[in-house]
Amino acid sequence: MWRCARGENGEVVSLPRLRTLHAQMRAAGETRCRFTWPTRRHGREFSVVFLTDLRPMVLLFGLCGGQLAFEFDVDADYSFRPFLGEKYSALLDALGLRPDREDPFRPSAFFQDFADVIPVALASTRPVTPRDVPRTRQIEDAEKIYFIGWRYHGAGSHVSFANLEKTRVLLGEEFHHRCRDGNISSCWSDDPHADHPAQPPQRP
């Protein structure tokens, strides 16, 4: 019973509204957006980030006012498998629910509610900054999420894989490719006052 409840039994959630939103993003030349999902039955809100520049595409969920965050890969047919693993119990706690063997919480039903309210208009979403990306992955210096500049490596010095991965997750594939090909590191601070918008790096 718990295997099915946790989404491990081949359950799939289809996201036709996400397909429509992605079409608008492509038309506008956007690869990332975010929006808020007020859950229909549980009185909680999630910040949702849609990353289309990663392969596979990714949906990131972060509980507003809480520490819970999780992510799902989005298949090419705009569907995902709602497997929560170790986050299952944490989500129950966040929603104020108790485990119930007779009537288990089903992630597929929960996320079907999400699928039904995804905004289809790009104008209903907001741009994504690095600090908006929920911490669902291990990244280098995870507390440092405020962009402060670029480091251009010379001979004998090389950008690290960990830094490239952080650049990819927080800034996207275009920045990742430029840093990888140009031997450039992104630089970050934990001081929000040091933050400024990132522009693609250009070698001097």
Q: Inform me whether the pLDDT recorded for 99 exceeds 50.
A: yes
Which among 112, 118, 96 has a CA at the least distance from the CA of 17? 118
pLDDT 10s digits, 114-150? 999 999 999 999 999 888 886 767 788 888 999 999 9
Residue 11: the pLDDT is 85
Torsion angles phi and psi, residue 13, rounded to 5: -110, 125
Q: Residue 3 — pLDDT band, cuts 50, 70, 90?
A: very low
pLDDT 10s digits, 14-29? 999 999 999 999 999 9
Distance CA(126)–CA(148), nearest Å, equals 22
The CB-side HSE value for 96 (13 A sphere, CA atoms) comes to: 5
Q: Inform me whether the pLDDT recorded for 163 exceeds 50.
A: yes
* Edge-to-edge strand ranges of the sheet holding 32-38: 32-38, 45-51, 57-63, 69-74
Query: Are 20 and 115 within 8 A, CB to CB?
Result: no
Distance CA(141)–CA(148), nearest Å, equals 14
What is the pTM for the complete model shown?
A: 0.83
Provide the pairing of β-strand 57-63 with 32-38.
Answer: unpaired
Query: Measured at the alpha carbon of residue 118, what is the angle toward residues 116 and 122, in degrees to the nearest 5?
Result: 150
pLDDT 10s digits, 21-74? 999 999 999 999 999 999 877 889 999 999 999 889 999 999 988 888 999 999
Residue 134: the pLDDT is 66
Residue 24: the pLDDT is 96
Distance CA(155)–CA(135), nearest Å, equals 33
